[in-house]
A = this chain, B = another copy of it.
Amino acid sequence: MASLVDRDLLFPAEPAVRAIARALYESVAGLPIISPHGHTDPRWYALDEAFPDPAQLLIVPDHYVFRMLFSQGVRLEDLGVPTADGSEVEIDGRKIWRLFARNYHLFRATPTRLWMDYVFSELFGLDQRPDERNADRLYDQISERLGEPSFRPRALFERFNIEAIATTEGALDDLKYHRMIRDSGWKGKVVTAYRPDAVVDPDFPGFAANLDQLGEMTGEDTGTWSGYLAAHRARRDYFRSFGATSSDHGHPDACTANLSATEAAALFAKVLSGGADTAERRLFRGQMLTEMAKMSLDDGLVLQIHPGSWRNHSDGVMQRFGRDKGFDIPTRTDYVAALKRLLDAVGLERDLTVVLFTLDESAYSRELAPLAGVYPALRLGPAWWFYDSPEGMRRFRELTTETAGFYNTVGFNDDTRAFPSIPARHDLARRVDCAFLARLVSEHRLGEDEAFEVAKELAYTLAKKAYRL
């Protein structure tokens, strides 16, 4: 049976370059997976239950999948995407799968297609890509596998050769699944990450109530600036006790601030009162990035900034289906002015690590590589989201390496909630990096011996080091 994944997938066609790429890839293909940033559900590892049917596992929760189908006229209801008001949607996994299979050609030349092919072929042993005719047969084949014990989360975790994985939890999460994992005695390394958007962003739904809850959880008075900061410190410590080595911040832009304690307290009071205007709410988010960075100086958490997404762009979809339905659209993002306050405060610290991501590729060579190529605290996160793709990752290397080098980057993040696709994503990233290195070697810009060293750094070591895992 031919695999859907060619052994030379993503390697340049020129035979000499391909041979180098292949050799580099073979040297890293078997390395364990470090997944320092992602969104898998800790519940899976805690309960270790069988995954539900193929559609519920692979289609319904994957916004990459349903957004493309939707863009071509498929209704979200027919794909089983739950509505906000609970009104009826398709629940028959087989019907959803058929709809997906019939439209699989829409994914041609997208990363989703490559990840899916990999999962179908390498994980479920399928020998054909889904289409209208084979839909039922493939559905049955996947369903059958999902019933087997070797397809439970922990077994897969081990089969995937995951050395460490980070999930992401909100500041108010009680981390009970992380506690269950720890108490279970299972040896898989699953850590959390501190994502405080809901208690940092005044525009987050329920912000005021969230702050009250934060106060209750920590015993701090979150009605005062000092109490609020203390509550963050307490939650960070709690998250660290469950292995967290990083915090993560998803802001509309990269604005940072560095107010005096008095100014910050006054701003906090105004935000709490509900009277802060747009600029002040933005300033508050910016101030909190700097506060988080300062806390990182004490507790060692790596600070991740994921800016520049206009969330839930369609009012209609937001009303009917709620958040996270594929309508998060990147926007033009400034870094040079926006990060200045944070960088003046902590950018020269050699023990701090701030990982910057972007959805605005025009900033790679113009702003991000020049900043990361000089500030000791800065590192560049890998190509993110829409750019976590063969062309996107190639551009990332081409646009950042000459100014920031390899060593100011942090390896790969899969950033996914699609657990079965994790090996596919890491495999693709390794292939793309090896293809890039092979070109450098073939053009005599890098020694072959050096390329082998760098390949391992990019596939494994840099992520482990940067995220302190």
Contacts and interface: CB of A to CB of B under 8 A. Distances in A.
A91 to B, nearest CB: 23
B10 A445 contact: yes
A405 B107 contact: yes
A216 interface: no
A408 B72 contact: yes
A336 B327 contact: no
A124 interface: no
A313 B340 contact: yes
Contacts of A13: 12, 14, 16-17, 439, 442-443
Contact of A310 (B107, B109, B336, B453): B336
Chain B CB within 10 Å — which of A68, A107, A404 has the most?
A: A68
Contact of A365 (B6, B337, B387): B387
Contacts of A401: 109-110, 391
Q: Is the interface on chain A under 10, 10 to 19, 20 to 34, or 35 or more residues?
A: 35 or more
Contacts of A250: none
A193 interface: no
A11 to B, nearest CB: 7
B407 A392 contact: no
Interface in A371-408: 371-376, 378, 386-387, 389-392, 398-399, 401-408
A340 B8 CA distance: 42
B109 A440 contact: yes
Interface of A: 5-6, 8-14, 16-17, 67-68, 70-73, 105-111, 114, 310, 313-317, 326-327, 329-332, 334, 336-337, 340, 343-344, 347-348, 350, 359-362, 365-367, 369-376, 378, 386-387, 389-392, 398-399, 401-408, 439-440, 442-446, 450, 453-454
Given A71-B372, A109-B406, A329-B371, 15 more contacts: A11-B443, A13-B439, A71-B375, A108-B406, A109-B402, A109-B454, A314-B344, A314-B347, A316-B348, A326-B374, A329-B336, A329-B370, A369-B386, A386-B403, A392-B402
